[in-house]
């Protein structure tokens, strides 16, 4: 397997794990109510999504309230996933995907 494609696939998988963690955290936020901070799974999702939230806080101006950082982080994650998906498609085409069986494409 091409090393560049392998890096892209790993990055895409990490972004997808973070996205699913955001989704799970949102569902638990709705279901658990006020006691969600005591929920072990909710805390696990917060740990998984914290690097993305910290990055979102670092790149947004202080005008953005802390309660809205999750939305910025989710949009940042979505944009990063789209960019990596485009790079994956481009790499697969460069490796001759439609004509050749390229692993990972």
pLDDT of residue 15: 96
Q: Which H helix or E strand runs over 100? A: none
Give pTM, 2 decimals.
Answer: 0.85
Could you count the other beta carbons within 10 Å of the beta carbon of residue 63? Answer: 5
- What average pLDDT does range 32-44 have in this prediction? 88
Q: Which distant-in-sequence residues (6+ apart) come within 8 Å of 48 by Cβ?
A: 17, 18, 21
Q: Which of 70, 82, 56, 86 is nearest to 21 (CA)?
A: 70
pLDDT tens by residue, 4-19 = 889 999 999 999 999 9
Domain residue extents for the chain: 3-94
Which residue blocks in 36-104 are alpha helix, DSSP H?
Answer: 40-59, 69-94
CB crowding 34-60: b at 16 or more within 10 Å, else e = eebeebeebeebbebbeebbebbeeeb
Task: Give percent above pLDDT 90 in the chain.
Answer: 69
């Amino acid at each position: 397997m091409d090393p560049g494609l392998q890096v892209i696939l790993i990055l895409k998988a990490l972004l997808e794990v973070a996205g699913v963690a955001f989704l799970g955290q949102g569902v638990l936020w709705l279901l658990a109510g006020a006691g969600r901070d005591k929920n072990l799974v909710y805390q696990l999702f917060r740990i998984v999504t914290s690097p993305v939230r910290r990055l979102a806080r670092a790149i947004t101006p202080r005008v953005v309230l802390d309660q809205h950082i999750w939305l910025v982080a989710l949009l940042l994650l979505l944009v990063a996933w789209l960019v990596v998906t485009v790079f994956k498609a481009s790499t697969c085409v460069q490796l001759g995907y439609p004509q050749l069986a390229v692993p990972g494409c």
